[in-house]
Structure 1
Amino acid sequence: MTPSEKHNKTNFIVNKKLCNFIAEKFLRKFYDKEGNEISQNKYAAMCGLSSSTISKIKTEEGYDLPISTIYNICRQENYSLKKLFSEFEQTYGKNFPI
């Protein structure tokens, strides 16, 4: 495997785990600021995202998640990027072996 192929495989693993982590943390049930359960469509709109983006994140295989999408979800959840990535790192570690 070439170094480029190794990086691509590692990136795929990181994206998959990050999507799964975010989905588990924020995207199983959706709530508005008052704590009322809402639809995925309404939640997506509140985040400034499409409902299909939320659906992609929730798939087991995940997708190539832009930082802006992560930021929009964190902003909606009143959650800092620092805290999210710190928890992600505590859960999965710093290195992803191939």
Structure 2
Amino acid sequence: MARAKDEQQEHLENELLSFIYVEFIAPIKVNGIKPTIRQYEEITSIGRTTIEKLIKSQGYDVPISTFSKICQYANISLLEFFSKFEEYQKEIRRIEKD
């Protein structure tokens, strides 16, 4: 039973990482080009190692400080962030059913 919970947790973490990448990392462009890790760091104030983990989109348990930096960069509240994540999850579920 504990293993199923671990898989559920891992799935949730991976969905969260995918959401962060799709909504907050991938849209960033510098002169129309995908930025370097260093440029991401300068733009978002998120450390390079963390940016690399967010881009990898697997197996990273995102700390609250990173959520805070994402929200600060995107000029949204944590409530807005998690509301958007919930909508993202609903859309993923809808697509999976089709």
Give the structure-2-normalised TM-score.
0.71
SS at 1:30 equivalent: coil
CA distance 1:71–1:44, change in 2 (3 Å)? same
Provide the residue aligned with 2:86 in structure 1: 89
Using the TM superposition, give the Cα deviation of residue 79 of structure 1 relative to its aligned residue in structure 2, in angstroms. 1.7
Q: Is the 8 A contact 1:30 1:40 kept in 2?
A: no
Map 1:21-40 → 2, pairs under 5 A: 21-30=19-28, 39-40=36-37
Using the TM superposition, give the Cα deviation of residue 24 of structure 1 relative to its aligned residue in structure 2, in angstroms. 0.5
Using the TM superposition, give the Cα deviation of residue 31 of structure 1 relative to its aligned residue in structure 2, in angstroms. 5.6
Using the TM superposition, give the Cα deviation of residue 68 of structure 1 relative to its aligned residue in structure 2, in angstroms. 1.5
Aligned-residue identity in percent? 27
Structure 1: state its 5+ residue gaps.
Answer: none
Identify which of 39, 43, 55 aligns with 2:52. 55
Deviates more, 1:37-46 or 1:20-29: 37-46
Please identify which structure carries the higher strand content.
1
Using the TM superposition, give the Cα deviation of residue 19 of structure 1 relative to its aligned residue in structure 2, in angstroms. 0.6
Higher relative contact order (CA 8 A, sep 6+): 1
Q: Is the 8 A contact 2:53 2:60 kept in 1?
A: yes
For this pair of structures, how many residues does the alignment match? 90
Q: Is the 8 A contact 1:31 1:43 kept in 2?
A: no
Please identify which structure carries the higher helix content.
2
Give the structure-1-normalised TM-score.
0.71
RMSD: 2.7
Q: Is the 8 A contact 1:23 1:57 kept in 2?
A: yes
